[in-house]
């Protein structure tokens, strides 16, 4: 069973290898042959000792032959080193490419996954899984796989050598090796059998929590907290520590036994040799064999250590590949069998109910409304009401539990995701700019956009003043060398992105943080440019922006409480009317404050 598992992860690993598979196999073959060659100098040594015994005490007769063996030994040692080096070159070359392939496959697969997958993954965890496991696999393929092949070839060659001179001494050398293997199996079997899975789980959890912790450093500082108050991180560290120390304690006895057994051949060989020597017919030959075994037994010990590490690293690499496979087994977003094209730019919610996975309560309950082509519909309401959730269902970041979201009269599940994304420009509540040039940040909306188009979009989004102050204009990398943009400036850049995309439907999730009044006016102007002649679904926190909307929908606890135009809702004197009053008084308060200053 275990063997089958080993085989299957190795097979999946080699699937990423493509044409580099042969190079990996070649590198491993070189390493195996190099291992065998590394034993040849010991044989030469045997023959040198034999010649010395034979020519004793006239050593001068045999000097030529001895130096000949010496040179042969050197040639084999150098040859073995060169082969090992060439083998490593091959495996390194292949490993780098294979791990790049793995990373690419995992990342392209992740892009295809529904947003739901990312919402239940701790942020940073996915990147850590991909990075750590591909690194581990790269190391394994570059170093440990060729070493494992060498370590597996060696025992066979060593066995042949051990028994070809004196079987009794051979058996004596073999005995510690067998005992060593028994101890080794205790380290990886029994209580420790599931070690690698638990170890990797604990390590992965601790790494992901560390990323979360570092991301939250501003909060840590402001609230003067210590690592201990971050329960998840603290728990992950303690779990890892407990596990690692528990495992070390479990391994204490077998590891000591393994080390003693593999290095203990001397203790067996010397008394055994004294015993056998008295009963042998050819004492000179026996002494010669004995010397050889004494010289050779450290090779057996180092071979055993290599096998031990090879077993451990294979387990690690096996786990790494299995973890990557888990990502690849996640089902990508279902694409329709017979995709249809939206007929126009309308949006319709038909009795939509949606619950986040893992959540007990529905975020949206039986919601129905329409946005006709060219109309602007605004979603308003208290925090947590379900506005962002509703907006996220249109580009199919999530699929509904029941009901349907229609774009251009077609259920979004029947539109190919590429086609759907072409229809929609989404401006997120939290602006995300890449650590790249301003140009590239805008260009993500339209990769083939010309320089003029990019500049026009930035101009329309009121970004001219931002560009002017950036040291290298469009080429300035955001987030580098002290170039940071304020929240309001970032919003304008993200509006430029949406303007450049020029999609018929605009979904705008307005940022909650208010920009300063200058920025606010600029954002408002950019927004007006963006929505010209478009179908717009907007989430507005500043009610001034929704006043002119064709329809305002008040969402509360996932339900539509009110809907209609600004005037109609004011007339009804319900939630919206109260919100509007509060908004008006907050403005009056703000103006009053400004007047005082
Ligand atoms: N990824 C998620 N996983 C689970 N629950 C979520 C997730 N995102 C939001 N929710 C929950 O869904 C409900 C609606 O949240 P949503 O973000 O849609 O509110 P909102 O109206 O946009 O609020 P705000 O005005 O603060 O932006 C909330 O109860 C929230 O806790
Ligand atoms: Mg929101």
Query: Over the stretch 182-204, which tens digit does the pLDDT of each residue have?
Result: 888 887 776 666 777 788 788 88
User: Which ligand sits closest to the CA of 364?
Assistant: 1
387 and 322 in a common domain: no
Beta carbons of 293 and 169 less than 8 angstroms apart? yes
The CA-based diameter of the chain, rounded to the nearest angstrom, is 123
305 and 246 in a common domain: yes
Measured CA to CA in angstroms, residue 246 lies from 105, 256, 270, 272 at distances of 36, 16, 38, 39
Domain boundary among 270, 302, 329: 329
Cβ contacts of 34 within 8 Å, gap of 6 or more: 79, 80, 81, 83, 84, 87, 150
**pLDDT given at position 30:** 95
- CA dihedral sign, ordered 540, 544, 545, 548: positive
Query: Over the stretch 401-460, which tens digit does the pLDDT of each residue have?
Result: 999 999 999 999 999 988 998 999 988 877 778 888 899 889 888 888 999 999 999 999
63 and 201 in a common domain: yes
Give the mutation target among 363, 559, 561 for probing the ligand 1 site: most ligand atoms within 8 A of CB.
363
Give the binding-site residues of ligand 1, using a 6 Å CB cut-off: 119, 356, 359, 363, 383-389, 429
User: Which ligand sits closest to the CA of 362?
Assistant: 1
Q: pLDDT band at 224, cuts 50/70/90?
A: low
288 and 175 in a common domain: yes
Name the more confident of 516 and 49.
49
448 and 555 in a common domain: yes
In the predicted model, what is the mean pLDDT of residues 275-280? Answer: 73
Q: Which helix (H) or strand (E) holds 552?
A: strand 551-556
Domain boundary among 297, 329, 361: 329
Q: pLDDT band at 552, cuts 50/70/90?
A: very high
What's the rounded Cα separation, in Å, for the pair 486 and 248? 51
We report the CATH number of the domain holding residue 445 as 3.40.50.300
Within-domain flag for 45:
yes
The total of other beta-carbon atoms located within 10 Å of residue 586's CB is: 11
Within-domain flag for 279:
yes
Q: Is the backbone peptide bond immediately before 57 cis, with ω within 30 degrees of 0?
A: yes
User: Considering only CA atoms, which of 403, 395, 454 is closest in space to residue 421?
Assistant: 395
Cα 364 to middle of ligand 1, angstroms:
10
Phi and psi, residue 411, nearest 5°: -60, 130
Measured CA to CA in angstroms, residue 549 lies from 346, 424, 546 at distances of 15, 19, 5
Q: pLDDT band at 535, cuts 50/70/90?
A: very high
CA 77 to chain centre: 41
Cα 363 to middle of ligand 1, angstroms:
7
Within-domain flag for 231:
yes
Give the mutation target among 122, 356, 509, 560 for probing the ligand 1 site: most ligand atoms within 8 A of CB.
356
pLDDT of 3 above 60: no
The total of other beta-carbon atoms located within 10 Å of residue 70's CB is: 14
Tokens of 333: 């977003």
Within-domain flag for 337:
no
Please tell me the pTM assigned to this model: 0.68
587 and 457 in a common domain: yes
Q: pLDDT band at 155, cuts 50/70/90?
A: confident
**pLDDT given at position 207:** 80
Range of the domain at 357: 347-596
User: Considering only CA atoms, which of 486, 432, 436, 434 is closest in space to residue 463?
Assistant: 486
**pLDDT given at position 350:** 97
Residue located via tokens 């020597």: 277
297 and 431 in a common domain: no
For the chain, helix (H) and strand (E) counts, in that order, are: 22, 10
Measured CA to CA in angstroms, residue 202 lies from 229, 239, 319, 554 at distances of 20, 7, 13, 45
Query: Over the stretch 232-257, which tens digit does the pLDDT of each residue have?
Result: 788 888 988 988 888 888 888 888 98
**pLDDT given at position 413:** 95
Residue 555: beta bridge partners?
560
The total of other beta-carbon atoms located within 10 Å of residue 590's CB is: 12
128 and 242 in a common domain: yes
416 and 282 in a common domain: no
**pLDDT given at position 526:** 84
Within-domain flag for 47:
yes
What's the rounded Cα separation, in Å, for the pair 421 and 466? 28
**pLDDT given at position 296:** 78
385 and 293 in a common domain: no
What's the rounded Cα separation, in Å, for the pair 122 and 441? 25
Query: Over the stretch 61-94, which tens digit does the pLDDT of each residue have?
Result: 666 778 888 899 999 999 999 999 999 999 999 9
Angle at 525 between CA 523 and CA 529, to 5 degrees: 115
Residue 437: beta bridge partners?
477
pLDDT of 316 above 70: yes
Q: Which of 165-169, 332-336, 502-506, 528-532 has the lowest mean pLDDT?
A: 165-169
Average pLDDT taken over every residue of the chain: 84
We report the CATH number of the domain holding residue 50 as 1.20.1560.10
Beta carbons of 509 and 388 less than 8 angstroms apart? yes
Beta carbons of 126 and 118 less than 8 angstroms apart? yes
Strand-strand pairing, 347-354 and 364-371: antiparallel
Task: Name the residue at shortest CA distance from atom 25 of ligand 1.
Answer: 383
Residue 427: beta bridge partners?
508
pLDDT of 281 above 90: no
Q: pLDDT band at 1, cuts 50/70/90?
A: very low
User: How many domains does the chain divide into?
Assistant: 2
Within-domain flag for 515:
yes
Cα 389 to middle of ligand 1, angstroms:
6
% of the chain beyond a pLDDT of 70: 90
Within-domain flag for 334:
no
DSSP letter assigned to residue 537: E
**pLDDT given at position 524:** 81
**pLDDT given at position 570:** 93
496 and 396 in a common domain: yes
Query: Over the stretch 336-381, which tens digit does the pLDDT of each residue have?
Result: 999 999 999 999 999 999 999 888 899 999 999 999 999 999 999 9
What's the rounded Cα separation, in Å, for the pair 357 and 436? 33
Within-domain flag for 6:
no
Domain boundary among 329, 359, 380: 329
What's the rounded Cα separation, in Å, for the pair 505 and 442? 18
Query: Over the stretch 108-144, which tens digit does the pLDDT of each residue have?
Result: 888 788 777 776 665 567 777 788 888 888 888 898 8
Give the mutation target among 384, 390, 430, 546 for probing the ligand 1 site: most ligand atoms within 8 A of CB.
384
Cα 381 to middle of ligand 1, angstroms:
12
DSSP letter assigned to residue 562: E
3-state secondary structure 380-449: ECCCCCCHHHHHHHCCCCCCCCEEEEEECCEEHHHCCHHHHHHHEEEECCCCCCCCCEHHHHHHCCCCCC
What's the rounded Cα separation, in Å, for the pair 375 and 492? 23
Phi and psi, residue 362, nearest 5°: -70, 135
What's the rounded Cα separation, in Å, for the pair 579 and 353? 26
What's the rounded Cα separation, in Å, for the pair 295 and 289? 10
% of the chain beyond a pLDDT of 90: 29
446 and 302 in a common domain: no
**pLDDT given at position 393:** 94
Cα 82 to middle of ligand 1, angstroms:
62
């Amino acid at each position: 069973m275990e063997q089958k598992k080993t085989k299957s992860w190795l097979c999946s690993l080699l699937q990423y290898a493509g044409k580099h598979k042969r190079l990996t196999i070649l590198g491993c073959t070189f390493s195996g042959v190099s291992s065998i060659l590394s034993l040849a100098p010991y044989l030469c040594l045997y023959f040198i000792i034999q010649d010395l015994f034979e020519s004793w005490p006239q050593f001068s007769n045999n000097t030529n032959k001895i130096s000949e063996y010496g040179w042969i030994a050197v040639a084999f040692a150098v040859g073995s080193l060169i082969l090992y080096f060439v083998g490593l070159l091959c495996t390194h070359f292949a490993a780098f490419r294979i791990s790049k392939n793995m990373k690419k496959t995992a990342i392209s697969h992740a892009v295809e996954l529904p947003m739901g997958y990312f919402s239940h993954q701790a942020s940073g965890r996915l990147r850590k899984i991909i990075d750590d496991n591909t690194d581990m696999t790269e190391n394994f393929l570059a170093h440990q796989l060729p070493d494992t092949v060498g370590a597996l070839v060696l025992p066979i060659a060593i066995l042949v050598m051990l028994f070809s001179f004196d079987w009794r001494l051979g058996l004596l050398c073999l005995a510690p090796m067998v005992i060593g293997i028994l101890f080794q199996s205790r380290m990886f079997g029994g209580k420790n059998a599931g070690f690698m899975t638990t170890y990797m789980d604990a390590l992965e959890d601790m790494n992901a929590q560390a990323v979360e912790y570092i991301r939250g450093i501003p909060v840590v500082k402001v609230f003067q907290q210590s690592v201990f108050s971050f329960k998840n991180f603290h728990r992950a560290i303690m779990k890892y520590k407990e596990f690692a120390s528990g495992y070390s304690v479990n391994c204490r006895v077998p590891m000591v036994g393994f080390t003693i057994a593999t290095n203990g051949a001397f203790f067996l060989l010397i008394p055994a040799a004294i015993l056998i020597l008295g009963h042998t017919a050819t004492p000179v030959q026996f002494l010669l064999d004995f010397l050889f075994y004494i010289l050779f037994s450290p090779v057996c010990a180092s071979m055993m250590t290599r096998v031990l590490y090879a077993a451990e690293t294979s387990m690690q690499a096996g786990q790494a590949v299995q973890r990557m496979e888990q990502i690849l087994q996640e089902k990508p977003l279902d694409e329709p069998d017979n995709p249809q094209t939206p007929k126009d730019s309308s949006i319709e919610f038909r009795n939509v109910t949606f619950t986040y996975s893992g959540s007990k309560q529905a975020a949206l309950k039986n919601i129905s409304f329409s946005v006709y082509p060219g109309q602007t519909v605004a979603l308003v309401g208290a925090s947590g009401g379900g506005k962002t959730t509703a907006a996220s269902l249109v580009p199919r970041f999530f699929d509904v539990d029941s009901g349907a979201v229609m774009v251009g009269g077609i259920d979004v599940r029947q539109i190919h995701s590429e086609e759907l994304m072409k229809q929609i420009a989404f401006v997120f509540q939290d602006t995300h700019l890449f650590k790249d040039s301003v140009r590239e940040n805008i260009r993500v909306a339209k990769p083939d956009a010309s320089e003029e188009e990019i500049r026009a979009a930035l101009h329309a989004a009121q970004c001219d003043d931002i560009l002017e102050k950036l040291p290298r204009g469009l080429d300035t990398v955001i987030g580098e060398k002290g170039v940071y943009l304020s929240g309001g400036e970032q919003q304008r850049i993200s509006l430029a992105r949406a303007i450049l995309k020029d999609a018929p439907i605009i979904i705008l999730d307005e940022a909650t943080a208010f920009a300063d009044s200058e920025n606010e006016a600029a954002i408002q102007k950019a927004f007006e440019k963006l929505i010209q002649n478009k179908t717009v679904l907007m989430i507005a926190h500043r009610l001034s922006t929704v006043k002119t909307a064709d329809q305002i929908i008040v969402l509360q606890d996932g339900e539509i409480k009110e809907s209609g135009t600004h005037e109609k809702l004011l007339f009804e004197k319900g939630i919206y009317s109260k919100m509007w009053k509060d908004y008006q008084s907050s403005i009056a308060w703000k103006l009053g404050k400004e007047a005082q200053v």
